[in-house]
Amino acid sequence: MKKWLSAGAALIIVALIIVSWATVRHQTKPQKISIVGSTALQPLTEAVAHQYQQKHSGIHITIQGGGSGTGLSQVQAGAVDVGNSDVFASQQNGINAKKLRGHVVAVAGIVPIVNPNLPVNNLSMEQLRQIFTGKITNWQQVGGPNEKITVINRAHGSGSRVAFEQTVFKNNDEAVISQEQDSNGTVKEIVANTPGAISYITRSYVNQRVKPLQLNHFKATKANITTNRWPLWSYEHMYTKLNPNSATTQFIRYMQSPAIQQRLVNSTNYISIHDMKVKKTANNQIIEEK
C-alpha cells in the first residue's frame, strides 16, 4: 500500500512539474516586434530598441532598412508590425493611408554632402536644384574647381528623396539621370570615395568621411531646422495597422516619451517633435507654431 501511494505521489509530482514548466514556458515566450523601412530613422530606432529591450526582457525587436516605400507596403500587407517612413503615408503611391495609423517620433534634418576633398562649402537652394536636375554639371559653375559633378541620387521609394524633391524642386522638374541608392550608409560611402560626388543623407549619418554643405550660408543645426531656416527636414513616422498589438503600442509610446525625446533623440542627432517651432503638412506647407 505504501509502495502504491509512493508511486502515485511520484506521478502527481511529475505531472505538476510538467504543467508548471509548460506554464512558465508559455509565460516567458518573448513578444516579437518587427520593424522595416526608412534607413533615415533606423539609427534612432535601433538605439531606442536596445534600451527598451534591456528594460523589457520579454520583448524581442527586429529592425531592417529597405526605405520608406518598403516599410509602408510591408506594414500595409501585414508582413511587419511597424513601417518606418520619412513621408506621410498619403504621399506614397499604392498605400491606403486610411488603413494605417501614423505615429510621429522625431524630426530628421536632410543634409547635402560632397566628397571631402571638394573645395565647395555653400550652395544656394537654386544651385542645388539645378545640380539635381542636370542644369549645372561642373563644379566650376558654382565657384568650385573645373571638375565634373557626379550626382548620387536616392532611389525611387526613398522617403528622403520625396522630402528633398518636395522642398528643392519646382513644378515639372525632373531629376537628372544618375546612380541611385536607397541606404544612407551606402550613399555616404559612395560620396566619400568618388571625386566630385554630391548627394544627401540624414543628419544622423554625417561624419568626417563626407563634407556637409551649407545652404544659403546656413548650417544644418538644430536651431536652424526647428525654425525652418534650414528647410530640408522631414518628420520620422512609425506606421502601424489601425489596431496594433499591445507590445507594438507600448514600444511606440516609449519612443514618444519625454525620456527618449529629451535625451536619446538629441544625442543621436535627430530633433524632438516637441522642439519644432514650425509644422510641415503632407504637401510641404509650413505652419508657424503658436
Structural domain count, the chain: 2
Would residue 12 count as lying in a domain?
no
CATH number for the domain that contains residue 132: 3.40.190.10
Residues 254-260 have a mean pLDDT of 95
Residue 6 lies in a domain: no
Per-residue model confidence as pLDDT tens digits over 175-195: 999 999 989 999 999 999 999
Let me know: does 40 contact 86? Beta carbons within 8 Å: yes
- 119 & 215 share domain: yes
Determine phi and psi for 154, rounding to 5 degrees. -85, 155
Q: Read off the pTM.
A: 0.85
Give the pLDDT score at 82.
Answer: 98
Distance of alpha carbon 132 from alpha carbon 150, whole angstroms = 10
pLDDT score recorded for residue 9: 57
What is the structure's pLDDT at 288?
A: 80
pLDDT tens, 110-149?
999 999 999 999 999 999 999 999 999 999 999 999 999 9
**Is residue 15 scored above 60 in pLDDT?**
no
| Predicted local distance difference test score (pLDDT) of residue 287 | 87
CB 157 within 8 A of CB 70: yes
Q: Which residue has the cell 520625396?
A: 162
Q: What is the mean pLDDT of residues 236-264?
A: 96
* Residue 231 pLDDT exceeds 90: yes
199 and 57 housed in the same domain: no
Mean pLDDT of 48-68: 95
Query: 36 and 176 in one domain?
Result: no
What does the pLDDT read at residue 19? 45
Q: How far is CA 118 from the centre of its chain?
A: 28
Mean pLDDT of 225-249: 97
> What tens digit of pLDDT does each residue of 20-52 get?
444 444 445 679 999 999 999 999 999 999 999
In the chain, the percentage of residues whose pLDDT exceeds 70 is: 89
Whole-number average pLDDT of the chain: 91
User: Once rounded to an integer, what is the mean pLDDT over residues 88-108?
Assistant: 95
242 and 163 fall within a common domain: no
**pLDDT higher than threshold 50 for residue 5:** no
Look at residue 25 in the predicted model and tell me its pLDDT.
Answer: 45
Segments of 157-219 assigned E as strands: 179-181, 197-202, 211-212, 214-215
Looking at the fold, whether 120 and 45 belong to one and the same domain comes out as: no
Q: What is the extent of the structural domain holding 191?
A: 109-226
Closest CA to 206 of 131, 269, 142: 269
Greater confidence (238 vs 28) lies with 238
Return the pLDDT at 11. Answer: 53
Q: Which of 7-11, 48-52, 159-163, 267-271 has the lowest mean pLDDT?
A: 7-11
The residue among 177, 192, 226 that closes a domain is: 226
Same domain, 84 and 177: no
Residues 41-64, mean pLDDT to the nearest whole number: 96
